[in-house]
Amino acid sequence: MHPPGKNVIHYPLDETSGGSWIALSDEGRVVCLLNGAFESFIPDPSYRKSRGQVVIDAVHESDIQYFTDNYNFEGIAPFTLLLFENPTFIQLIWDGTKKEVSPLSITEPHIWSSVTLYPPPVRAWRKSLFEKWLGETDVYNRETIIQFHQMANGDPDNDFIMNRRDVVRTLSITNVELRPKSSSILHLELDNELREEILVKYE
């Protein structure tokens, strides 16, 4: 969906916040959010803005550098934000007090796991599974990456499709594919096996 009167963006809607955890613009900018910064934290109910709204604001901002330099993060819960607009790839971490901005390689594979859901040993385990998959996979494309995210490893509390006694669990997978003349965002609802894709073509 997209708000009226602004450049068109596409994203799965978080109905609670009105924001999202991932979004694609018609210009090919992608923003993805993970809850938490460097370590787990105790939420404060007085936060002034949802982190999901930060995603929408980051996609709408005309310049990524201006966003990272000038956006007001005060009063927002800690998060990790990934921003891509070819050839720029940036990781922005807000720990609730200060921000840390780092450039990322666009030619190397990366993986992240939410610090609010997974302690350091589990994040390291997930990274090792990713590195093993990279070494064993001949073709990296949308379908093989989605298959990786659906891979079961015998630990439902920490698998990529996570289920902690139906209290906290993975509900969907969203994949963004960027090409020279087009992009698309694919959203999979796991409970009802719904698969929706939006294709964006560049002029």
Classify each residue of 142-171 as buried b or exposed e, where b means 16 or more C-beta atoms within 10 Å of its C-beta: eeebeebeeeeeeeeebbbebeeeeeeebe
Of all residues in the chain, the percent with pLDDT exceeding 70 is 94
* pLDDT tens profile 125-179: 999 999 999 999 999 999 999 999 999 888 999 999 999 999 999 999 999 999 9
Domain boundaries of the chain, sorted by first residue? 9-201
* pLDDT tens profile 10-50: 999 988 878 999 999 999 999 999 998 887 766 666 788 99
* pLDDT tens profile 70-120: 999 999 999 999 999 999 999 999 999 999 999 999 999 999 999 999 999
**E strands present in the chain:** 9-10, 22-25, 30-35, 79-85, 88-94, 99-103, 163-164, 168-169, 172-178, 182-189, 194-201
Average pLDDT of the chain, as a whole number: 91
45-61: average pLDDT = 90
What pLDDT does 5 receive? Answer: 45
Torsion of the alpha carbons at 27, 83, 133 and 194, rounded to the nearest 10: -60
Q: For 9-201, which CATH superfamily applies?
A: Penicillin V Acylase; Chain A (3.60.60.10)
Q: Model pTM? A: 0.91
